[in-house]
Chain A
Amino acid sequence: MLHRLESLESCTYDGMDMTTRLKRKQQYYVVQNNNPVELCASSLPQFQGLIGNNLGSGQMVELKRPEDFLGTDDFQEFVNLPVAGPEFGYSEKLDLAPPEAAADYCISWTSSCQITTLNTAVMKEEREDMILEKMESTTGSGRASFNKRKAEAVADHKRNKGEGEGESEVKTKCSTEISRNSSKENSKASEVQKPDYIHVRARRGQATDSHSLAERARREKISKKMKCLQDLVPGCNKITGKAGMLDEIINYVQSLQRQVEFLSMKIAALNSSVELSVENLPMKEFPAYVANFPAAAKLPEMAGLPCFELNPLQKESVKCMLNESMHPPQTEGIASASVSISEQSLSSSSMTQLQPFSTWNMDPQGLYNMYNMGFH
């Protein structure tokens, strides 16, 4: 039994993309083999039933597993082992990785070796705990060291790929093999928490250096976030490159902040004239307002301010606030616009450009486009 487990372990080790902990696990596994086997035997019949039940679902889940490499939660769903949980309290002893369990599972399902399945189930439980413990314990250790070890493991795996992989993959189902291969093609950098291990696989034909792996993971994270921002900021579809994107983002944030500033001044001006109380406002009409006026653009508002019903005092306050808020005038257009309003003259070029814009129902993105057209 022990011998068989060892051999199984070795072939799975060769066959799978492994993290570095496997090297150390090898030794642990040899030592601790005795105990699980004994207990496995006792609870065998229960587990047989479980195996039978889970066979269908197990294979389905197997397809997913290579994808969520770090997703140990899949393991839990995969085999609900009331047996394995409380009885095998070897959580402190073994240090094994989920991919190994995946390989073992694949192999054991196809070979229908119940005891090995049990063992792998046991291993899986312990592995999870050990992984998590390992993660917690190595919080202090630098990421670089881990990446180095991980790179070694990846490099080792690449070397052994030829001989070992064929052996193990023959045993597994074809679908799992395909999914596993496809997952290798996509380098996974699913970072759960900061101290966790990043399981990144080097793509075909790319450097397996630890630094470049970490760099690649970092760059992909950043590009993913930039893509999210690209959807938010209007007019960024044509722009490629970080510098241009950042420019657009900065401009957009500034314009939004300025809009908020103007709107707050407007509300302050209105506040002083209208006594704001909850009864005054028709709260029921609010949804209607929200629907009909997505956002009154502020710049057309400024164009329309002279037409606004402002008594002299309010005009004064608005003027003061406009002057106040123009701390660093980012664009000359805005500054000139404020000056023109304070002077009650709409002769400046920027304002004349804005005058034809009589569309009041604009969302901020529309306003931004207009702003761009006017000032760039």
Chain B
Amino acid sequence: MASVITNPVTNANSDRSSRKKKKKKSSAAMSKENQQQSHAKWKSEAQQQTYSSKLIQALSQLSFNSNISSSTSSSPSSPRPGRAVREAADRALAVAAKGRTRWSRAILTRRVKLKFRKQKRNRGSAAATVAAAFSGSSGSRKPRFSVSKLRAKSLPTVQRKIKVLGRLVPGCRKEPLPVILEEATDYIAALEMQVRAMSAIADLLSGSGAAARSSSPPPPISQ
């Protein structure tokens, strides 16, 4: 990603026409390649390996943190324990996407925004209000379909569906249709890879768990 950014800068010394030619070629190539190669990119084994290793690292960190902090505090981290794995998986996926797409950038800045909001509220109000507000905000983060269904025939059919799709793909709420379609293409390919990798991890865990359980007596569960 850094190379893409600095390309125009480093070529400043070269011939002006060649620099502009490169810029045009890269942008033209990218717009075409993005669509054609997104599926191939997410389908490759290497990508899945990378993602799996990243996810496993994140999971190990997560369990480590929860084990340490479970005795001291009530909840391990800001997302509830139920959502922690999901958040970690999404973030690992966004990192694997290298931030070239809108949805990956939106996922990566999700936690940052929440932390920012939390800090703001912390300064203004007491801790109790913060916890309530934060849990409320995290709960309302999910797209509410009921509100839009109340207004019948608010928009033409296709427009409504475009909005729904925009809300599904992270970071694409206010984007026009072509952008949404492009992001959805990449997002779907990435999600498929995520499902493949996570199911493999789950099988791995269950396999190793079964082996551990069969070999030794079950360890005391400290929760």
- Interface set of A (CB-CB < 8 Å, partner B): 70-73, 76, 85-86, 91, 125, 128-129, 132, 190-193, 218, 221-222, 224-226, 228-229, 231-233, 242-243, 246-247, 249-250, 252-254, 256-257, 259-261, 263-268, 270-278, 280-283, 285-287, 289-290, 293-298, 309, 311, 313, 320-321, 324-325, 327-328, 363-365
- Are A253 and B169 within 8 A (Cβ)? yes
Chain B: which residue is nearest A324 at the CB level? B82
Contact of B24 among A192, A221, A231, A309 (CB under 8 A): A192
* 1/0 contact string of B167-185 vs chain A (CB within 8 Å): 0110000000110011011
- Are B194 and A274 within 8 A (Cβ)? no
Q: What's the least CB distance linking B58 to chain A, in Å?
A: 10
Say yes or no for B114: interface residue by CB 8 A criterion: no
Chain B: which residue is nearest A193 at the CB level? B27
- Are A129 and B20 within 8 A (Cβ)? yes
- Are B82 and A320 within 8 A (Cβ)? yes
Question: What's the dominant secondary structure at chain A's contact region?
Answer: helix
* 1/0 contact string of B19-53 vs chain A (CB within 8 Å): 01100110110010001100100000100110011
- Are B188 and A232 within 8 A (Cβ)? yes
- Are A290 and B178 within 8 A (Cβ)? no
- Are B185 and A225 within 8 A (Cβ)? yes
- Are A286 and B49 within 8 A (Cβ)? yes
List residues 82-124 of chain B with CB under 8 A from any CB of chain A: 82-86, 89-90
Question: How many B residues, CB 8 Å from partner?
Answer: 80
- Are A73 and B25 within 8 A (Cβ)? yes
- Are B208 and A281 within 8 A (Cβ)? yes
Contact of A85 among B17, B59, B63, B188 (CB under 8 A): B17
Contact of A313 among B53, B86, B192, B221 (CB under 8 A): B221
Sampled A-B contacts (25; CB under 8 Å):
A72-B20, A128-B17, A128-B20, A193-B24, A193-B27, A218-B178, A222-B177, A224-B35, A229-B185, A254-B168, A260-B86, A270-B209, A274-B208, A276-B60, A281-B204, A281-B208, A286-B49, A289-B203, A290-B200, A294-B196, A320-B82, A324-B80, A325-B82, A363-B192, A364-B192
Say yes or no for B130: interface residue by CB 8 A criterion: no
Contact of A247 among B84, B85, B161, B204 (CB under 8 A): B161
Q: What's the least CB distance linking B97 to chain A, in Å?
A: 15
Contact of A298 among B158, B199, B201 (CB under 8 A): B199
Enumerate chain B residues within 8 angstroms of A364, measured Cβ to Cβ. 191-192, 195-196
- Contact A289-B24, Cβ < 8 Å, known A228-B185, A231-B39: no
Enumerate chain A residues within 8 angstroms of B25, measured Cβ to Cβ. 71, 73
Say yes or no for B206: interface residue by CB 8 A criterion: yes
Enumerate chain A residues within 8 angstroms of B182, measured Cβ to Cβ. 225
Contact of A250 among B17, B60, B168, B201 (CB under 8 A): B168
Contact of B181 among A222, A260, A275, A283 (CB under 8 A): A222
Chain A: which residue is nearest B197 at the CB level? A290
- Contact A276-B59, Cβ < 8 Å, known A250-B165, A253-B169, A287-B49: yes
Chain A: which residue is nearest B35 at the CB level? A228
How many angstroms between the C-alpha atoms of A296 and B207 in the bound complex?
A: 13
Enumerate chain B residues within 8 angstroms of A276, measured Cβ to Cβ. 56, 59-60, 63, 205
How many angstroms between the C-alpha atoms of A363 and B24 in the bound complex?
A: 39
Say yes or no for B16: interface residue by CB 8 A criterion: yes
Q: What's the least CB distance linking B46 to chain A, in Å?
A: 11
- Interface set of B (CB-CB < 8 Å, partner A): 15-18, 20-21, 24-25, 27-28, 31, 35-36, 39, 45, 48-49, 52-53, 56-57, 59-60, 62-63, 80-86, 89-90, 142-146, 157-158, 161-162, 164-165, 168-169, 177-178, 181-182, 184-185, 187-189, 191-192, 194-206, 208-210, 212-213, 218-219, 221, 223
Contact of B208 among A128, A129, A218, A280 (CB under 8 A): A280
Enumerate chain B residues within 8 angstroms of A86, measured Cβ to Cβ. 15
Enumerate chain B residues within 8 angstroms of A91, measured Cβ to Cβ. 16
Q: Other CB < 8 Å A-B pairs besides A222-B178, A264-B85, A289-B204, 12 of them?
A: A232-B188, A243-B158, A263-B198, A265-B86, A270-B202, A270-B206, A276-B63, A290-B48, A293-B199, A296-B203, A364-B191, A364-B195
How many angstroms between the C-alpha atoms of A257 and B90 in the bound complex?
A: 10
Enumerate chain B residues within 8 angstroms of A254, measured Cβ to Cβ. 168
How many angstroms between the C-alpha atoms of A174 and B210 in the bound complex?
A: 74
Enumerate chain A residues within 8 angstroms of B202, measured Cβ to Cβ. 263, 266-267, 270, 296
Enumerate chain B residues within 8 angstroms of A289, measured Cβ to Cβ. 200, 203-204
- Are B24 and A70 within 8 A (Cβ)? yes
How many angstroms between the C-alpha atoms of A129 and B15 in the bound complex?
A: 11
Enumerate chain B residues within 8 angstroms of A73, measured Cβ to Cβ. 21, 24-25
